[in-house]
């Protein structure tokens, strides 16, 4: 018995790395899985059905149920076909795990318009489009009198929540997904939909390129525990997708290795009032107040020119 017995799940970008580990974990926990992967390179070129097919075969060989899907999640009609396939293959849909993504790392001064647009398209738009199509069906099922218990689990990153040099496109997309997650949780609650996000860890095709002398392996190739295994975050995804987490929505977590942490959302910190009273600030008066009461510092900041 697994925590997802009887559930039908879609996992996007499930041919490699994080998504592959999630698909395998959800299947091991009893879910029937639609394994989506367009089969492109880490930077988004090309297409290949073999990665999705391979994951399906691994799941089936372990006694689970799975079907492959090769649609582009950021394509409106393609994402619609993906969600429809869950109903056609398994008679329903309960869990959406949005993981599909690519990278094109560049410094801002070197990043092209295509570099920015392509990464944001797959990560942020892809997460929105699949969420849209899934929620349309969940809302209709609620209107038809069904008690829906659905879960969305999105993939974010410390690059978006804490920032990372060279990843303006990827970080911006991941920060947007975190906001989208919270909004989906607010809108989806009326028809039984929860939405949460996980920032995973591990070495994958997308992250391994910046690490030296580290072998990039698929999650099921590890024979013992390793902090580098991208499947380590999958149990958290499975729990969030399960009815054991019905009380959890609108939250963002970090799951790396054997550690799970809760991200605290943006919140108001220290504040200052205009010492002149209830009137518009004089820009020249802002610095002394903010420096003294917000930063608790008189640091002069960036020095331009000179040396």
**Catalytic amino acids?**
157, 170, 174
Reading the block at residue 127, the tokens are 């997460």
CA–CA separation, 221 vs 229, rounded Å? 9
SS3 for 241? Answer: helix
The half-sphere exposure of 211 on its side-chain side, counting CA atoms within 13 A, is 12
CB 23 within 8 A of CB 17: no
**Residue 166 DSSP symbol:** T
Alpha helices in 9-125 (DSSP H): 17-28, 50-61, 76-90, 113-120
Reading the block at residue 260, the tokens are 């799970």
Torsion angle, CA of 238/151/119/107, rounded to 10 degrees?
A: -70
CA–CA separation, 233 vs 18, rounded Å? 8
SS3 for 98? Answer: strand
């Amino acid at each position: 018995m697994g925590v997802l017995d009887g559930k039908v799940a879609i996992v996007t970008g499930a041919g490699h790395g994080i998504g592959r580990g999630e698909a395998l974990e959800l299947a091991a926990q009893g879910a029937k899985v639609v394994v989506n992967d367009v089969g492109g390179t880490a930077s988004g070129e090309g297409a290949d059905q073999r990665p999705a097919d391979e994951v399906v075969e691994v799941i089936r060989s372990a006694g689970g149920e799975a079907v492959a899907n090769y649609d582009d999640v950021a394509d409106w009609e393609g994402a619609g076909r993906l969600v429809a396939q869950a109903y056609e293959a398994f008679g329903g849909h309960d869990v959406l795990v949005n993981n599909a993504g690519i990278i094109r790392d560049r410094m801002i001064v070197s990043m092209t318009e295509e570099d920015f647009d392509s990464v944001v398209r797959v990560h942020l738009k892809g997460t929105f489009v699949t969420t849209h199509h899934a929620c349309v069906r969940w809302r209709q099922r609620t209107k038809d009198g069904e008690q829906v218990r659905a879960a969305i689990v999105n993939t974010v990153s410390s690059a978006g929540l804490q920032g990372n040099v060279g990843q303006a496109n990827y970080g911006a997309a991941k920060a947007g997904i975190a906001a989208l997650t919270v909004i989906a949780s607010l809108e989806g609650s009326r028809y039984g939909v929860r939405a949460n996000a996980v920032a995973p860890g591990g070495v994958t095709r997308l992250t391994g390129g910046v690490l030296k002398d580290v072998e990039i392996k698929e999650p099921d190739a590890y024979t013992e525990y390793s902090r580098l295994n991208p499947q380590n975050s999958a149990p958290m995804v499975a729990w969030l997708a399960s009815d054991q987490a019905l009380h959890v929505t609108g939250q963002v977590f970090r799951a790396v290795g054997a550690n799970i942490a809760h991200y605290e959302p943006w919140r108001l910190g220290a504040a200052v009032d205009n010492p002149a009273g209830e009137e518009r600030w004089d820009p020249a008066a802002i610095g002394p107040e903010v420096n003294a009461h917000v930063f608790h510092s008189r640091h002069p900041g960036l020095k331009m020119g000179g040396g």
